């Protein structure tokens, strides 16, 4: 599906190696300099393994997508439905668990297009809201989500190695796409 200037392509199990490399790169690029190396390595040793990525790709309630621009993968998105959601498992919601764009592609509105895509997917499935967790110190991401109408509604603890961090939970209601009957 083409949204804006990118093509959004759903991943298959065969994409596991590319997704694993992209996941590691984006995570280390964004958070490596903000956290202790031992905490980043401890988290990565569990979160970014071939087995973990294959299991996530095999889950029918989790959907991964690449953003592709001019034939190049520029980022990825992970959506969780129902029991795959990390917190609520709400059948009336979808969770954005991961949304990452390679640093060299920032400013190209790829994140915006991922959000638009997610909102369209949620509306098409008649879901009530989209939610996500974002690190409380990631002010740029928080501002990005607020710009798209997400609001903080709770928080939870996130373990990055031995560092207990706080993620803000944000959500956005989905407007019904159905028109009232005359």
Assess contact for 9 and 68: CB atoms under 8 A: yes
Confirm whether 145 is a catalytic residue: yes
Q: What's the predicted TM-score (pTM) here?
A: 0.91
Domains plus CATH for the chain? 2-173 (3.40.630.30)
Between strands 129-135 and 93-101, the pairing is parallel
Q: What does the pLDDT profile of the chain (182 residues) look like in tens digits?
A: 665 678 999 999 999 999 999 999 999 998 888 889 999 999 999 999 999 999 999 999 999 999 999 999 999 999 999 999 998 899 999 999 999 999 999 999 999 999 999 999 999 999 999 999 999 999 999 999 999 999 999 999 989 988 999 999 999 999 754 444 43
The torsion of the CA quartet 78, 149, 178, 181, rounded to 10 degrees, works out to: 170
**Which of 43, 81, 100, 145 is flagged as catalytic?**
145
Phi, psi of 28 (to 5 degrees): -65, -40
Question: In what helix (H) or strand (E) does residue 166 lie, and over which residues does it extend?
Answer: strand 163-173
């Amino acid at each position: 599906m083409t949204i804006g200037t990118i093509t959004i392509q759903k991943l298959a199990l065969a994409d596991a190696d590319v997704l694993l490399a992209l996941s590691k790169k984006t995570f280390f690029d964004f958070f490596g300099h903000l956290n202790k190396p031992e905490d980043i390595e401890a988290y990565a040793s569990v979160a970014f393994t071939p087995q973990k990525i294959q299991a996530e790709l095999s889950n029918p309630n989790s959907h991964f997508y690449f953003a592709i621009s001019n034939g190049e993968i520029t980022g990825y998105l992970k959506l969780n439905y129902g029991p795959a959601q990390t917190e609520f498992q709400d059948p009336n919601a979808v969770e954005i668990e991961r949304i990452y764009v390679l640093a060299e592609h920032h400013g190209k509105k790829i994140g915006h297009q991922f959000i638009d895509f997610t909102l369209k997917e949620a509306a098409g499935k008649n879901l009530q809201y989209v939610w996500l967790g974002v690190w409380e110190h990631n002010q740029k991401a928080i501002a990005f989500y607020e710009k798209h109408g997400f609001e903080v509604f709770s928080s939870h603890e996130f373990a990055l190695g031995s560092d207990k961090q706080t993620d803000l939970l944000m959500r956005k209601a989905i407007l019904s796409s159905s028109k009232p009957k005359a």
